[in-house]
Chains A and B, each alone.
Chain A
Amino acid sequence: MPDAIAVEALHKRYGDVQALDGLDLTVEQGAVMGLLGPNGAGKTTVVRILATLLRPDSGSVRVCGVDALREPERVRPLIGLTGQYAAVDEKLTGFENLRMLARLARRGRTESRDRADELLAEFGLADAAGRLVRTYSGGMRRRLDLAAGLIARPEVIFLDEPTTGLDPRSRTAIWKVVADLSAAGTTVLLTTQYLEEADRLAHTVVVVDHGTVIGRGTPQELKDRVGGERLEVRLQDAGQYERAERVIRGVVGDGPCSHDDEGRISVAVAGGAMLMPELARELHAAQVVVADLAVRRPTLDDAFFALTEPGEGSISGADPAPAPPEAEHVTAVTAGRTDQR
Chain B
Amino acid sequence: MSRTPTAKTARTTKSVKTTTDTKSTSTTKATPVSPAGPAARERDPGGGIAWWFSDAGEMALRNLKHLRRTPDLMMYALIQPVMFILLFRYVLGGAIDVPGDDYGQFLLPGIFVQMVLFGSVAGTAVGVADDMSKGIMDRFRSMPVSRSAVLAGRTFSELARTLVAVVVMIVVGLLVGFRFDGDPLPMAGAFLLLFAFGYAFSWLAALIGMAVSGPEAAQAGGTAWLFPFTFISSVFVPVSSMPGWLRPYAEHSPVTVVVDTLRAWLGGTDAGSAAWQSLAWTVGIATVCAPLAVARYRNK
Q: In the docked arrangement, what's the CA distance between A69 and B15, Å? A: 25
Chain A residue with the shortest CB-CB distance to B62: A100
Report the minimum CB–CB distance from B105 to chain A (whole Å): 41
Query: Which bucket holds chain A's interface residue count?
Result: 35 or more
Per-residue CB contact flags for chain B residues 204-238 toward chain A (1 = under 8 Å, else 0) read 00000000000000000000000000000000000
Per-residue CB contact flags for chain B residues 184-199 toward chain A (1 = under 8 Å, else 0) read 0000000000000000
Some 8 contacts from A to B, beta carbons below 8 A apart, are A9-B26, A24-B22, A76-B144, A88-B136, A91-B65, A104-B140, A105-B144, A203-B11
Report the minimum CB–CB distance from A24 to chain B (whole Å): 5
Q: In the docked arrangement, what's the CA distance between A89 and B21, Å? A: 44
Are B138 and A21 within 8 A (Cβ)?
no
Per-residue CB contact flags for chain A residues 1-32 toward chain B (1 = under 8 Å, else 0) read 00000001111000000000110101110010
Q: In the docked arrangement, what's the CA distance between A216 and B34, Å? A: 30
Are A103 and B143 within 8 A (Cβ)?
no
How many interface contacts (CB-CB < 8 Å) are there between A and B? 162
- The residues of B that contact A106 with a CB separation of less than 8 Å are 45, 47, 51, 144
Are B69 and A100 within 8 A (Cβ)?
no
For A10, A58, A72, A104, the residue with the greatest tally of chain B CB atoms inside 10 Å of its CB is A104
From A88, A101, A218, B9 is in contact (CB under 8 Å) with: A218
With an 8 Å Cβ cutoff, the count of chain B residues facing the other chain is: 55
Of residues 200 to 225 in A, which have CB atoms within 8 Å of B's CB atoms? 203-204, 212-214, 216-218, 220, 223-224
Are B14 and A28 within 8 A (Cβ)?
yes
- Cβ-based interface call for B27 (8 A): yes
- Cβ-based interface call for A79 (8 A): yes
- The residues of A that contact B44 with a CB separation of less than 8 Å are 73
Are B31 and A313 within 8 A (Cβ)?
no
Are B142 and A59 within 8 A (Cβ)?
no
From A21, A71, A85, A104, B26 is in contact (CB under 8 Å) with: A21
- The residues of A that contact B144 with a CB separation of less than 8 Å are 73, 76-77, 104-106
Q: Which 8 A-B pairs have the closest CB atoms?
A: A22-B26, A87-B135, A9-B30, A228-B1, A203-B12, A28-B15, A87-B139, A218-B12
- The stretch of A47-55, A277-285, A330-338 in contact with B is A47-55
For B33, B43, B58, the residue with the greatest tally of chain A CB atoms inside 10 Å of its CB is B33
Are A72 and B41 within 8 A (Cβ)?
yes
Are A132 and B62 within 8 A (Cβ)?
no
Report the minimum CB–CB distance from A241 to chain B (whole Å): 26
Are B19 and A83 within 8 A (Cβ)?
no
Report the minimum CB–CB distance from A45 to chain B (whole Å): 13
Per-residue CB contact flags for chain B residues 49-61 toward chain A (1 = under 8 Å, else 0) read 0010011001001
Chain B residue with the shortest CB-CB distance to A213: B22
From A56, A86, A100, B33 is in contact (CB under 8 Å) with: A56
Of residues 51 to 96 in A, which have CB atoms within 8 Å of B's CB atoms? 51-53, 55-60, 69-73, 76-77, 79, 81, 83, 85-89, 91-92, 96
Give 5 new A-B contacts, CB below 8 A, not counting A58-B29, A105-B143: A59-B30, A89-B134, A103-B54, A104-B58, A204-B12
Are B143 and A101 within 8 A (Cβ)?
yes
From B33, B135, B138, B139, A57 is in contact (CB under 8 Å) with: B33
Chain B residue with the shortest CB-CB distance to A102: B58
Given contacts A52-B141, A91-B69, A212-B26, contact A220 B21 (CB under 8 A): no
- The residues of A that contact B9 with a CB separation of less than 8 Å are 203, 218, 220
Are A31 and B15 within 8 A (Cβ)?
yes
Given contacts A216-B19, A270-B1, contact A92 B62 (CB under 8 A): yes
For B14, B30, B47, B69, the residue with the greatest tally of chain A CB atoms inside 10 Å of its CB is B30
Of residues 1 to 22 in B, which have CB atoms within 8 Å of A's CB atoms? 1, 3, 8-9, 11-22
- The residues of B that contact A59 with a CB separation of less than 8 Å are 30-31, 33
- Cβ-based interface call for B66 (8 A): yes
Report the minimum CB–CB distance from B226 to chain A (whole Å): 26
Chain A residue with the shortest CB-CB distance to B26: A22
Q: In the docked arrangement, what's the CA distance between A8 and B132, Å? A: 30
From A11, A104, A132, A214, B22 is in contact (CB under 8 Å) with: A214
Q: In the docked arrangement, what's the CA distance between A126 and B258, Å? A: 52
Q: In the docked arrangement, what's the CA distance between A53 and B65, Å? A: 27
- The residues of B that contact A116 with a CB separation of less than 8 Å are none
Are A22 and B27 within 8 A (Cβ)?
yes
- Cβ-based interface call for A148 (8 A): yes
Are B16 and A316 within 8 A (Cβ)?
yes
Are B33 and A69 within 8 A (Cβ)?
yes
Are B30 and A11 within 8 A (Cβ)?
yes
For A24, A79, A223, A270, the residue with the greatest tally of chain B CB atoms inside 10 Å of its CB is A24
Q: In the docked arrangement, what's the CA distance between A230 and B279, Å? A: 77
- The residues of B that contact A217 with a CB separation of less than 8 Å are 16
Given contacts A24-B22, A77-B45, A217-B16, contact A58 B143 (CB under 8 A): no
From B15, B36, B134, A27 is in contact (CB under 8 Å) with: B15
Of residues 111 to 169 in B, which have CB atoms within 8 Å of A's CB atoms? 134-136, 138-145
From A60, A73, A85, B45 is in contact (CB under 8 Å) with: A73
- Cβ-based interface call for A314 (8 A): yes
- The residues of A that contact B21 with a CB separation of less than 8 Å are 313
Given contacts A9-B25, A58-B32, A86-B135, contact A316 B13 (CB under 8 A): no
- Cβ-based interface call for B273 (8 A): no
Chain B residue with the shortest CB-CB distance to A18: B26
Report the minimum CB–CB distance from B286 to chain A (whole Å): 25
Are A87 and B22 within 8 A (Cβ)?
no
Chain B residue with the shortest CB-CB distance to A100: B58
Are A31 and B11 within 8 A (Cβ)?
yes
- Cβ-based interface call for B42 (8 A): yes
For A56, A91, A148, the residue with the greatest tally of chain B CB atoms inside 10 Å of its CB is A91
- The residues of B that contact A48 with a CB separation of less than 8 Å are 138
Q: In the docked arrangement, what's the CA distance between A218 and B70, Å? A: 51
